[in-house]
Chain A
Amino acid sequence: MRAAPRDEASTRRASPPRSFFALLFVALAAPFLVRMAGTSVGTYSMFTSLRRYRLELWADDARVRPTSLRAHLGRDAARVIAVPDAGSIGETNVELLGADLEAIVELVCRLHPAARRARARLSVAPLGSSNAHPQIEERSCAGSGP
């Protein structure tokens, strides 16, 4: 008899809510769903796609050193973008940088208002390989004044 009042509340507490299986699916599937979406963000794929990269920038035909952008970048962006000419090593951040060339070229345009065109070239190669795949972004600077 003593145990009888137990506990409707406790039984309720012990039963998961209706949304439990939906939440369980999210917990289990999230890293695989983002991987299927074609990104390594959120996939916990540490160290599996390390690459050496090099970012080169031009305003018209004049080289713009990535380090010269430092004051215009946040700390974390500077760590990835404002690296020496020899380039650096990265993984997910290289993927994110590759998808950000348009914004970087836009920044070069705004910093060089006299330039007619700006260009970025990102060369990416797997560690230990010299077979770099360049990715190029170029745009007209018209109307990009500071």
Chain B
Amino acid sequence: MNAAANALDRLAAAARGIGRGEISPASYAWIRVGLAALFLLRVSDVFRPWIDWDHHLWVEGVDWSAATQARAAPRLDSPLLPGFSIFLRAADLLNALRIAGATLLLVGVLPRLCAATVALASFALMGADRYHYFHHLYLLYVSLAWLAFCPSGDALTVVPRTTPPRWAPAWPLTLLRAHVCAVYAAAGASKLNATWLSGESLFQMERAGLAGGHLWQLGVGVVGHRGLGWLSCLVELGLACALPVARWRLAAVGVAVLFHAFIEVSMMVSTFGLTSIVLLSAFLPWRARDEREPDAALSGKDEG
């Protein structure tokens, strides 16, 4: 009974500690810069001459420019969410707003407002056209929405600060981490079916030309399609479990980066892998302190 009570006490104490404490402002700033840069890269093909991105196959110019709209009436009206067609009338404005917002976000000007603006404008446009839905865009937009809770403008910013804060609240980082774990858990759980785990899905993807390359062939040669199916499922579910645990976190980040690198060179996932890698930086060992610790700046101790 005592052991059970102690375990419950420890669990309750751990639950009370969730989201408390402070963290280096740089943790948020790097995520802000990464997500804003990926957003700007994804909404156009301006980097086509230098970088070979998946979305260059179907994106020419800028998303939501006149060239991407139906050219002739009557136009197909297919909102993802009922009533959201109305935002198509303001597509130019919303698009300009989100690109301006992402540019300001990149350089750290009004980051919370800009992240919220980019996310809301993007969801309005996605809601206005069901065929604009992609998992990689959805991940990017949801991540930007969570970034709107983060004080990400205290580092890597063009806004001059006389005394930049040394600490930022940790709870928004906890939300970002929860978001990342949920993505891995959901992706892994969706693979818990006989077709995936038998390797049939991956075999058919390969036959259809949706997966391939040297690393892919190497993987198939070593563990087979069935092994790759099991591995991908176990890695995603394992990451969802390992990333929240402090002692496993860094190893889990390493595994996740390798996992995304493998997918990136083997399949067409557009910005999904890079967005995930940017988000994984939330799990790096940023300098942090408990709220009961003395302020190092006042006590003379360097928190290192």
> Residues of A at under 8 Å CB distance from B?
2-3, 5-7, 10-11, 13-17, 20, 23-24, 27-32, 35, 41-48, 50, 69, 71-77, 79-81, 89, 92-93, 96, 99-100, 103-104, 107, 110-111, 126-128, 146
Contact = CB atoms under 8 A, between A and B. Distances in A.
With most chain A CB atoms within 10 A of its CB, the pick from B69, B70, B146, B300 is: B70
Q: Secondary structure at chain A's binding surface: helix, strand, loop or mixed?
A: helix
A69 B202 CA distance: 33
Nearest to B190: A45
B298 A41 contact: no
B201 interface: yes
B25 to A, nearest CB: 11
A136 to B, nearest CB: 18
A31 B269 contact: no
A27 B295 contact: no
Interface in B185-208: 185-187, 189-191, 193, 195-196, 200-205, 207-208
A83 B32 CA distance: 38
Contacts of B201: 47-48, 50, 127
A48 B196 contact: yes
Nearest to B289: A14
B272 A7 contact: no
A48 B190 contact: yes
A144 B207 CA distance: 43
B130 A96 contact: yes
Interface string B145-168: 010010000000000000000011
A137 B233 CA distance: 37
Contacts of A16: 18-20, 169, 171, 174
B129 A77 contact: yes
B65 to A, nearest CB: 9
B51 to A, nearest CB: 21
A74 B299 contact: no
A10 B295 contact: yes
A48 B77 CA distance: 28
A48 B75 CA distance: 32
B205 A47 contact: yes
B264 interface: no
A69 to B, nearest CB: 7
B179 interface: yes
Nearest to B272: A46
B74 A110 contact: yes
Interface of B: 18-22, 58, 67-78, 80, 129-133, 135, 138-139, 142, 146, 149, 167-171, 174-175, 178-179, 181-183, 185-187, 189-191, 193, 195-196, 200-205, 207-208, 210, 267, 269, 272, 291, 294-295, 298-300
Nearest to B61: A75
Contacts of A17: 171
B80 A96 contact: yes
Contacts of B189: 32
Nearest to A5: B298
A96 B299 CA distance: 59
B80 A74 contact: no
Pairs A-B, 8 closest by C-beta atoms: A45-B190, A31-B186, A14-B291, A127-B204, A16-B171, A76-B131, A27-B178, A16-B19
Contacts of A146: 73-74
Nearest to B128: A74
Contacts of B186: 31-32, 35, 43-45
A107 B74 CA distance: 7
A42 B170 CA distance: 26
A128 B291 contact: no
20 contacts: A5-B298, A15-B169, A15-B171, A20-B171, A27-B179, A27-B182, A35-B186, A41-B138, A44-B138, A47-B210, A48-B201, A50-B204, A50-B205, A50-B210, A73-B75, A76-B129, A92-B135, A93-B131, A107-B76, A146-B74
Given A6-B295, A80-B131, A41 B80 contact: yes
A14 B19 CA distance: 8
Given A27-B146, A72-B73, A10 B204 contact: no
